[in-house]
Structure formats: C-alpha cells, structure tokens
Amino acid sequence: MRTLRLLLPVATAALLGCIGCEETPPNPSAAPINRDTPAASASVATTAAPLPPMPKAEPIPATPAPLPELKTPAENPLTPEKVALGKQLFFDKRLSKDGSASCETCHVPEKGWADGEKLSKKVDGNLNTRHSPTLWNVGYNDLYYWDGRSPTLEKQIEAAWKGQMSADPATIAAALAKIPEYLVQFKTIYQSDPTGDNIVKSLAAFVRTIRSGGSAWDKFEAGDKDAVSESAKKGFEIFRNKAGCAACHAPPLYTNNGFHNTGVGFDKDVKEPDLGRGKISKNEKENGAFKTPTLRSATTHPPYFHDGRAATFEEAVDFMLAGGIDNPNRDDRLKKPVKLSKAERDDLLAFLKALEVKADGFERPKLP
C-alpha cells in the first residue's frame, strides 16, 4: 500500500485578511453584505466632481503550463479591469476596520503568499486557531478553509473580510465610494457604486490569478532535459513510487483537493484535538481530516500544517514519511512509515524544490 507522504495541510483558513487564517465564524446575527444596494452617500461623490478617467488594465496573465484553465463562476467572470481593481483592494489597508491590515498582511508575495507566522493575529488582537495557508493556486480549490466549510472563494473572502479584518462591508464600501479613482472603476466594471458584494468579487478575481506553474520541473517535462538535476529526476520516481506521495499530491496541481487525517493535532498531551473536516461534515470518520495542500511552491511558505508546527519544509516532509501521528482516523496510507536513505531523501527534496516558483519582486499596485 502506497504511503502518501507529503505535507498535508494543517493550517488556518481565513482568506483575504487571511485567505487562509482560521477565525471564529462571524456572528450569524450580524448584518449580511447588501448585494443590491450601493453604498450610501456614493451619489455625493459622483455629483461633486467629474470622475477621473478609467485606468488602463494589464492583460490577465496567461495560464502557466501545465496548469489547467481556471473555472470561474458565471456570476464572476474574470476581466482585466476586475483583476486590476481586486489587486489594488488586496493591498489596501483601508479595507480593515481600523486601517491597520490588508489582505497582504497574512498573504505576502515574497513569503509564498503566506505570512511566515505559526498563527496570525486578527485586527481585534486575537490569534487565529489555524495557520495561514498559501494563496498559490487557490483558484483551483473545490472547497475553502482547511476544513472545507466554504463552498466558494467568494464566500470565504466575505467571511474572512468580516472575521479577520473586523470589517463592516457597508462602511468600507461607503468609504471607497468617496475615492474618485476607486469609484470610476466600480462604475465601469459593475455599473454600480462600491458594494460589499462587488468588493468581494474583485478580490476573488485577483486571487484567482495567483498561480504557480512554469517551474523548472514543468520545463523539464516540456522537453528541456537540462532544466533539473539528476537528483530531482530520481526524486520524482521516489515521489510517485516508493514514498507514494502522488496518491494525494497528483500532478499537475499536486493536490487531490481531498481531506485526510495525518494525525497533526493528535499529540498525546492534546485533550481536545481539532476535528477539522469532521466538525463540518458531521462524519466521525473525517474527524481530524484537513485539506491536502498543493506541493507547487510549497518550499516558499514555511511554517507548515494547520497548526504551523513544522518550521521547515524538510521537517514537514520527515513528519509525513514517518507516518504522522497515530489516531483512530489516521489515513491508512500513513500507517506504515516510509524509510528512505539519506540519498533518497535528498533526491525527493530536490524534486519538490524543482516545483518551486517564487513571487520575489512582485510589483505592488499604486493605490488611489
């Protein structure tokens, strides 16, 4: 039986503010985003002075090989203008309650679209209960949050915006409506003043363009035989055969978007382990299961697992090779540890490194 061996997610989930940080779900009684009514007072901004010209948007980046084309919701198609607006909003601290945080606070490009922290802090000062995951290829997810409780990226962003950034969407929308350079973009794209709904749609559009592909390994598979080392080539064979990693981290996304129990959080001294997917599905067999992360660019965003326990990528790999932590629901493929020689382990790590794409030098947008 092959043993899945790589870095199962075990992290947090609140997106955009912390697309992946895990926060307490917002109060159900709180006012929902008004999806129809433009922000109050926006008309003042539109009549006070002529709007500036609509800024020119860059083309949407091409899908890097060998990733599949994105499947976007019919109600939120990608357009260059929407992506450009979402990019500005992503880096704008005015989207938080007190102006202290933006989506970038928990998802820094140079940190692999994560934040490097074991657990991130919310605007209200409280720590999240799970680690911030990367945004690499998040647009290919089937479900969102580490426990899969959100069915769409838009819904996750909405929840995280409120919970992570303590934002009141109507208040933020009204504030953005007073900024002419923002207002002209909303009116052009949505034929509307800013609303909580179209702010969320813009953010989701940008986040879907954060993709990891075109790595050294991809170039090798496309025919460039010198793109990777001999060690990486050997490592791929170990990855898909002896280590059995491909059972849950299959190409080209290097994730099956499933939920698996690796035992993270089931340490002997833990009295109440995080039930993860089981708490959402109400299926006891899924207790302790968390979403399988992509291994594309996984080397760029330590620490690892939903509790941030693994400080380095190598430590996370070793944890998986050792079979995780025993518990009643541990994945069957982890029950027999994989024993690799030092050379084999080095080869496996070389292959995983060859899947890396970095966002170093990412150009931030100029904010209105």
Q: Which CATH class is domain 216-353?
A: mainly alpha
What is the predicted pLDDT for the residue at 6? 38
Give the separation between CA 225 and CA 298, rounded to whole angstroms. 23
Half-sphere exposure of 22 (CA within 13 A, CB side): 22
The yes-or-no answer to whether 14-207 and 216-353 have a common fold is yes
Sequence spans of domains, the chain: 14-207, 216-353
What is the predicted pLDDT for the residue at 92? 99
Residue type at position 75: E
The CATH number, out of the four listed (2.60.450.10, 3.40.50.150, 3.40.50.300, 1.10.760.10), of the domain defined by the range 14-207: 1.10.760.10
Give the separation between CA 145 and CA 207, rounded to whole angstroms. 15
Residue type at position 13: A
Give the separation between CA 168 and CA 97, rounded to whole angstroms. 7
Tell me if 254 sits within 8 A of 296, measured CB to CB: yes
Q: Indicate left, alpha or beta for 233 from its phi (over 0: left) and psi (-120 to 50: alpha).
A: alpha
Q: What stretches in the chain show pLDDT beneath 70?
A: 1-48
What is the predicted pLDDT for the residue at 15? 38
What is the predicted pLDDT for the residue at 47? 52
pTM score > 0.85 for this model?
yes
What is the predicted pLDDT for the residue at 257? 96
Give the separation between CA 78 and CA 57, rounded to whole angstroms. 12
Please choose, from the candidates 281, 271, 249, the residue with its C-alpha nearest in 3D space to the C-alpha of residue 262.
Answer: 249
Q: Please give the structure tokens belonging to residue 76.
A: 């939120």
CB atoms within 10 A of CB 142: 12
What are the tens digits of pLDDT across the range 195-227? 999 999 999 999 999 999 999 999 999 999 999
What is the predicted pLDDT for the residue at 48? 61
Q: Please give the structure tokens belonging to residue 23.
A: 């926060």
